[in-house]
């Protein structure tokens, strides 16, 4: 699956009006071995980052602060480089150099999100739109929702595993008058290592955020 497939689902579909979409409804646990494709949210706020920290992070010597005043900032390994995909829209993106493991940052105002009549401008609405796109996709091997936190903000998390084994995890959360979207796509091991960078270091300020 080409990486642009991920990017289109995030940067374009999140801006479409799907007023009838209601895929993310409840929070329930999901066992790792459970591969049924469904949309149910689990509360990962206590485990999603801490359980991944044990992964070896010795491959890098430090971190760099990346992002923008519009999208916020996160810390990432200092050997990652800026990446621009032709289908990435106005997103900020970085890669480990492979062009396969990619972190993407974006944000939505009410106008940019094209909120329709009867829709509420919040993180859940944007997450519903992304979930709607992946729910019945034939390339998807596993798909589930979760509830986590990003820098103390309640976040809707969408997790996709393709039949090619490529992983996509998206965090959607609201702070102030914007809905922020952070995503990681790539291999599973790198995803697990990267979760704390997104969930713990994000801040609207370049000088803010926790250290990893």
Higher per-residue pLDDT: 8 or 101: 101
- Has residue 80 got a pLDDT over 50? yes
Q: Point out the least confidently predicted range of 23-32, 101-110, 146-155.
A: 23-32
For 3-28+37-201, give the CATH class.
Answer: alpha beta
- Has residue 32 got a pLDDT over 90? no
How high is the pLDDT of residue 28? 34
- List, as own/partner pairs, every contact residues 3-6 make where C-beta atoms lie below 8 angstroms and the sequence separation is at least 24, other chains included: 3/85, 3/99, 3/100, 3/102, 3/185, 4/85, 4/86, 4/87, 5/139, 6/168, 6/183, 6/185
pTM: 0.76
């Amino acid at each position: 699956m080409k990486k642009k497939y991920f990017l289109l689902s995030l940067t374009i579909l999140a801006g479409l009006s799907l007023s009838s979409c209601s895929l993310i409804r409840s929070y329930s646990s999901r066992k790792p071995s459970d591969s049924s494709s469904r949309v149910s949210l689990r509360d990962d706020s206590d485990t999603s980052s801490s359980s991944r920290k044990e992964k070896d992070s010795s491959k890098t010597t430090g971190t760099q602060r990346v992002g923008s005043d519009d999208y916020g900032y996160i810390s990432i390994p200092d050997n990652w480089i800026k990446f621009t995909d032709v289908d990435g829209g106005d997103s900020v993106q970085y890669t480990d150099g492979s062009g396969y493991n990619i972190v993407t940052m974006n944000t939505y105002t009410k106008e940019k999100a094209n909120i329709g009549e009867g829709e509420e401008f919040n993180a859940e609405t944007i997450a519903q739109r992304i979930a709607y796109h992946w729910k019945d996709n034939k390339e998807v091997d596993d798909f589930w929702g979760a509830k986590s936190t990003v820098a103390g903000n309640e976040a809707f998390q969408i997790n996709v595993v393709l039949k090619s084994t490529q992983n996509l995890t998206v965090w959607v959360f609201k702070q102030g008058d914007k809905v922020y979207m952070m995503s990681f796509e790539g291999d599973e091991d790198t995803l697990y290592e990267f979760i704390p960078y997104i969930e713990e270091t994000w801040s609207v300020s370049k000088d803010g955020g926790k250290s990893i």
